[in-house]
Structures are given as structure tokens and as C-alpha cells.
Amino acid sequence: MEGQKRIVGIKNVTINEPFFQGHFPGHPIMPGVLIIEAMAQVGGMLLMSHFEGQDTTNKVVYFMSLDNVKFRRPVVPGDQIRFELEMLQFRGKTCRMKGAGFVDGQVVAEAEMMAMVVDR
């Protein structure tokens, strides 16, 4: 069965996230690495859609590269990030994808990623 070519995921950012205590006191901003991690998790779901109908219990997604990562504006408590990812290439157990995160229609982050499915 062929998987999806595109996926959308939502992350609601709340002040209750523990990283806001230190990043930064009095000026909370979501760390860029966590924005990309959330984007990557959505991308992992896109990749796994290509293995629908197979037993994926003992499979995990490894990210191999991140390219052209850009942060366009800070993400703060109360924001809702809408991640949109598109698969550019799928070969065997590996894929390349491109993604962006949006808050209120404005790009907050973007990246190109390469990932593969491996045995746990």
C-alpha cells in the first residue's frame, strides 16, 4: 500500500511546558531544537504511513540529516504551531521530506529532513 505524500500536525504551546522555566525567565520562547523535534515527529508519522498494513511494532524512525533549517520568528506560550510536511522522495526505507511550521499563517520554522525506518 502506498503511503501519504503530505501530512499536517498541530502543537499547542502552553506556559506549562517545563522548558519555559529556563528558556528564558521572564521572556519565554520555545527552543528551536524542540520546534524541529516536533516537526520531525510529524515527519516520522508521514514516513511510517508507507508501511501501513505491515507489523511496525519493532520499528523506529531515525533522522539522518537536517538541512536548510531556518527559524523565522519566536514561538511563545499560547501559540499553536501547524506543521505541514511533504515527502520529496521515498526509496526503500528512507525518505526525504520538507516541512514548515506556521503560527497564525506565518512561517516560524522550516527544514528539509532525511529519515529512515530501522529495526528497534
Concerning whether 27 is annotated as a catalytic residue, the answer is no
Domains of the chain: 6-119 (3.10.129.10)
Rounded average pLDDT over 72-84: 98
pLDDT for 93 beyond 70: yes
Do residues 13 and 30 touch, judged by C-beta distance below 8 A? yes
Do residues 109 and 101 touch, judged by C-beta distance below 8 A? yes
**3-state secondary structure at position 86:** strand
Of the candidates 23, 72, 93, 96, the residue annotated as catalytic is 23
Q: Read off the pLDDT band of 1 (50, 70, 90).
A: very low
- What percentage of residues in the chain have a pLDDT greater than 70? 98
